[in-house]
Amino acid sequence: MDMTFTPEQIAFRDEVRSWIREAMPPEMRRRAENGANFEQSETMEWHKILYEKGWAAPHWPKEVGGTGWDTTERFLFQEECVDSNAPQLSPFGLSMVGPLLIQFGTDEQKQRFLPKILSGEEIWCQGYSEPNAGSDLASLQTKAEKDGDDYIVNGQKTWTTYAQYADWIFVLVRTSSEGKKQEGISFLLADVKNTPGITVKPFLTTGGTLAFSETWFSDARVPQANRVGPEDGGWTMAKALLAHERTGIGGVAESGRSLQLAKRIAAETPVGKGRLLDDASFRRRIARLQMRHRAVAMLNLRTLAAAQVGHAPGFESSVLKIVGTEVQQETTELCMDAMGHNALGWLDSPADALPEYQNAVASQFNYLRAATIYGGSNEIQKNIIAKQMLRLPA
């Protein structure tokens, strides 16, 4: 593979970099330069800025609000967003249910939901995992029973990321108990804010954030018109959505930024008469991670290139998910090690106890302990690779 960029692609990257720098409000830019975490309000402010520019959904078809960029341009745009530490937009609408509706939704569903996903007017979350159905998602028990033109939904979802901010949830439900457990699942869209019987309760993570919620459905009415695809055919859509999610979970650009952050911290951490960055053993750790990161970045480019010519992600997305999340964990661990004892006080220390760019390191380290579990655990991904790539029997 030719890993070099053309002059036109380099000019495009420079244009994106310059625009991000100029479009970001001054206080947001200051916080971005210092590696700060962003609040939900700041993320939505950046969403609106991208939407007005026409860059909120670069991977959508142009006719529904996308940019018309090719794979390389989308890759460069994502890299520049991460390198600038711009707020990361929620993936649940733009990168998950939006593309799914484009592929499987009815004309009415596309007209109803896509414009508001694109503009950020409606925020989405994902209702997949349950207390006893995580990586074995097909074991889910949340039920949906027909009643007139509606489904009556009962059950519980967990790990619903930032559900407390969501207006809508896409949810997998069991509509039949016949046949294989994968065959009785349907894909529904539910109005979180305006449907009686849906309750969202955030809970605190070890990183000190309210990133996850538990979501209950108690006789919640969801119109049958909000089912995407055929009844009992939701497993097909769940797999399609998860393949794209796992590609994104790999976090290649994010790991690259964490590597740069580890170097910055090490350069400012005194050790004896020198700096931690001058320590040979620490530099070897950086070098090993850089080589591994480079390898997964090349695989990511190959997967994106295949998508450009119409190939949906297959087992490659599982490979990216495994290696990418491991690299994410290793890079944040490297940052923590570079901080030394300063890494221990992220919950009860005053904000000015550390340089601002280090304040979010420990929280991110804790959050990413789950990266090898969410989106389908890495053990499950190895099973997928064995079945699809090595052709082993199920």
Q: Taking a C-beta distance cutoff of 8 angstroms, is the pair 15, 76 a contact?
A: no
Say what the pTM is.
Answer: 0.85
For residue 300, the model assigns a pLDDT of 79
H or E segment and range at residue 67 = none
Question: Shortest CA distance to 299 belongs to which of 275, 323, 279, 277?
Answer: 323
Helices and strands: H and E segment counts in the chain:
13, 10
For residue 197, the model assigns a pLDDT of 98
Interacting residues of 277 by C-beta distance below 8 A, sequence separation 6+: 263, 266, 267, 269, 283
What is the chain's pLDDT, residue by residue, as a tens digit (394 residues)? 445 688 999 999 999 999 999 999 999 999 898 877 889 999 999 999 999 999 999 989 999 999 999 878 988 998 899 889 999 999 999 999 999 999 999 999 999 999 999 999 999 999 999 998 877 788 899 999 999 999 999 999 998 999 999 999 999 999 998 888 888 999 999 999 999 999 999 998 877 778 899 999 999 999 999 999 999 999 988 877 766 565 566 788 889 889 999 999 999 999 888 999 999 999 999 999 999 999 988 887 777 666 656 665 567 778 888 999 999 999 999 999 999 888 876 656 676 778 878 888 888 898 888 888 887 788 888 888 888 777 656 5
DSSP string, 181-225: GGGGEEEEEEETTT-TTEEEEEE--TTS---EEEEEEEEEEEEGG
For residue 238, the model assigns a pLDDT of 84
DSSP state of 368: G
CA distance linking residue 373 with residue 351, whole number of Å: 30
Name the class of domain 123-237: mainly beta
- Number of neighbouring beta carbons within 10 Å of residue 79: 18
Query: Which of the residues 79, 80, 130, 245 is marked catalytic?
Result: 245
Interacting residues of 59 by C-beta distance below 8 A, sequence separation 6+: 66, 74, 95, 99
For residue 70, the model assigns a pLDDT of 86
Look-up of token digits 């804010």: 193
For residue 272, the model assigns a pLDDT of 84
For residue 1, the model assigns a pLDDT of 45
Q: Taking a C-beta distance cutoff of 8 angstroms, is the pair 387, 321 a contact?
A: no
For residue 66, the model assigns a pLDDT of 96
Active site residue 231: no
Its CATH architecture, for the domain 250-388, is Up-down Bundle (1.20)
- Helices of type H across 24-140: 26-33, 40-53, 71-83, 91, 98-104, 107-119
CA distance linking residue 66 with residue 74, whole number of Å: 11
Task: Determine the distance from the C-alpha atom of residue 160 to the mean position of all C-alpha atoms in its chain, rounded to a whole number.
Answer: 12
For residue 249, the model assigns a pLDDT of 66
For residue 247, the model assigns a pLDDT of 57
For residue 346, the model assigns a pLDDT of 64
Question: Shortest CA distance to 164 belongs to which of 124, 133, 136, 194?
Answer: 124
3-state secondary structure of 119: helix
Question: Shortest CA distance to 239 belongs to which of 202, 300, 185, 200?
Answer: 185
For the chain, give every domain's residue range.
7-89, 123-237, 250-388
Residue 79, token pair as written in the block: 């890299």
Distances (CA, A) of 344 to 258, 327, 331, 356, 357: 18, 22, 17, 15, 15
3-state secondary structure of 71: helix
